[in-house]
Structure 1
Amino acid sequence: MPYHHGQVITAAAVTAGAIGGAYCAYRWYQESTKTKIPEEWTQAGTLKNIYVYPIKSCGPVIMNQAELSTLGLKDGWLRDRFLMVVDEKNNFVTARAYPELLLVRPSVKSSVLTLTHSDMEPVHVNLAEVVSNQIRKTARVWGVMVPVYDCGWETSEWFSRLLDKSSGNFRLVYYASQTGRSLREGTNKIYKFTDKDTGALPDEVPFNLINDASVEDLNTKLKETKVTHRNFRPNFVLEGGKAYDEDNWKFVKIGDNVFEIIKPCFRCILTTIDPETGVRDAKADPLETLKTYRQMTDPAARRSAGNSPRMGVQMALRSGPGGLVALGDPIYVA
């Protein structure tokens, strides 16, 4: 059937819109990279595990598939490290000081966040209502002010009873921006972050990958304890690689999604707390063992990291947002 005049205009508009959208996506991609994406890749293994941590320092949600955004992994209202617990002075708190946080199990169904813990009754909060109510405040992450929404008295009471048996010393807050937060002064002296690399509420970057072979090698060196990749709280776990090959990578591609490695992941006391029990290792392992062989050798990087050993890599997205990653995806490196 022949087109009418209006149909021709509509078809042209759709075509123009598609071209314009593709051009905008291309421009975003060009602007976000500022660096040349490799053309040659080597497969290093496959994607074994995907973890999303809705609340900073709390337990993970185990995923089969997740969407990528510049701020981290997501699946609808489930977002990686978009929530955190703060104290009375609005400073973030973590499992470094409150190991019990590791045993909090979050889940998200539609827009409702549910928190469970073996010693507590479940509590629910509707994140859509939190955002629409816009009870806005500011909180601090590593001394940097960030905008957040308060999640209300019920979650405040729940975390307060869990952490110090008070009625309101802690509050749960939700990140109130769609752009990455600022990092503390001095972060860029060694590693060059762009304004699209910092995520919502992670310590520094929105994606963390651990190599299972490196964890297995570490376990051969540990004398009185064993660890799993869960001790290192990664988003992605690589299976099938060689131990510590990640030290030499600059880029990672999971399926068709490209990431740039911003820096090694320098490890802290949090790795010494059993993620299943919340109990600290008496000899501060695996951290102390890692210090014996995983220190930076470059003088400038060593001054920046101090005595913190490296394990895993921190990455930022370099392909457009909206891509998907799934278990079993091939992982390529360059």
Structure 2
Amino acid sequence: MSDKGPLVTAAATACALGAAYYAYNVYKETRKPKLPEQWKQVGTLKEIYVYPIKSCGPVLLNKVECSTLGPKDGWLRDRFLMVVDREYNFITARAHPELLLVHPQVKSSVLSLKHVDMEPLHVNLAEIIELQTPKTAKVWGTTVPVYDCGFEPSEWFSRLLNRSGDNFRLVYYASQKCRELRTTPNSFYKFTKNDTGALPDEVPFNLINEASVNELNSRLKDCQVSVLNFRPNFVLSGAEPYAEDGWRYVKIGENVFEIIKPCTRCILTTIDPETGVRNSKTEPLETLKSYRQVTNPEERRATGSSPRMGIQMALRSPPGQLVSLNDPIYIPQ
């Protein structure tokens, strides 16, 4: 009798278990969660912001379309562009606060850049897509496909940031799919492959509660902050301070979002979005750290000492629907 029978059986069993495990993980990634059916209103949508270029200024809108990759209005997309160094590693206002004072606008396919100390610059994004071949850049260690926007924006940003000729490049996201998952936050939070957006730090939608910002300001002694310190897409008016801590889903108009994680805050909040000047006492971050720490021990291992302020969301209803100013904002009953 051959002694290969048990080995064949074991191999077949291992293959079957492997296939089952793979199928289960695919199911977890692609399954649609059962969405709440009963809702109660907690406030209204007061402001809508889109940030065309990562770490640069926002565009204030009256309405916006919700896509899997984030808010959009035609060619105006949220964090679809970013500035990179010579090696195509992303840079942000954490190290280059002057970026916050760059004011982008998008009309049709033309991106316009304005800064008080620079001449205006216009870039036709449609031409970039047509003429350029995708390259690769990196965001938080994750490789992303991008189009290089060419010499003129490179020279413009390089002069703005360090008066040199070619140290920085402007790139445009070259995909209609979410970028790959970053491994670190997934150790605790339940991201799927459709939750990362184009070039944001983590997720494609961010909501801030105006009342939470007001409550924070009541604790600050030598400065005051605005919602813009926290770079949200949506500003909620009418809720209680920090009520958002306990929410799992949010509905704005007819759009349903799942809250993936709290937004944990970094040094960027300490830079005045109107002037680009850092707060000398590292506020409001130090005050937030005194009372807005994550308390769950397992979650704390994922977030470290970064305090929470606002919520990170991914779209769960069909893409293509609009949200508008003064839309009611709901949570499950």
Same fold by TM-score, threshold 0.5 exceeded?
A: yes
Partner of 1:51: 49
Aligned partner of 1:141: which letter?
V
Specify the SS of the correspondent of 2:291: coil
Partner of 2:67: 69
Distance 2:78 2:56 in 1: 11
Aligned partner of 1:38: which letter?
P
Partner of 2:318: 320
Distance 1:186 1:294 in 2: 21
Aligned partner of 2:54: which letter?
K
Distance 2:122 2:228 in 1: 25
Kindly report which structure 2 residues correspond to 1:6-85, keeping only aligned pairs within 5 A, or say none.
34-85=32-83
Kindly report which structure 2 residues correspond to 1:141-156, keeping only aligned pairs within 5 A, or say none.
141-156=139-154
CA contact (8 A) 1:33 1:318 kept: no
Residue 213 of structure 2 corresponds to residue 215 of structure 1? yes
Runs of 4 or more above 3 Å deviation: none
Gaps of 5+ in 2: 1-28
CA contact (8 A) 2:43 2:328 kept: yes
Partner of 1:192: 190
Residue by residue over 1:267-316, the C-alpha shift from the partner in whole angstroms, topping out at 9 and shown as x without a partner, is 00000000000000000000000000000110011111111000000000
Shift of 1:32: 5.9
2:297 paired residue among 274, 299, 305: 299
Shift of 1:34: 2.6
Specify the SS of the correspondent of 2:82: strand
Distance 1:93 1:139 in 2: 11
Q: Percent identity?
A: 70
**Cα root mean square deviation, aligned:** 1.1
Shift of 1:221: 0.4
Distance 1:214 1:257 in 2: 23
Distance 1:159 1:294 in 2: 36
Distance 1:198 1:233 in 2: 17
Distance 1:128 1:224 in 2: 46
Residue by residue over 1:50-86, the C-alpha shift from the partner in whole angstroms, topping out at 9 and shown as x without a partner, is 0000000000000001111000000110000000000
Specify the SS of the correspondent of 1:241: coil
1:290 paired residue among 281, 288, 291: 288
Partner of 1:10: none
Residue 95 of structure 2 corresponds to residue 97 of structure 1? yes
Shift of 1:33: 5.8
Partner of 2:22: none
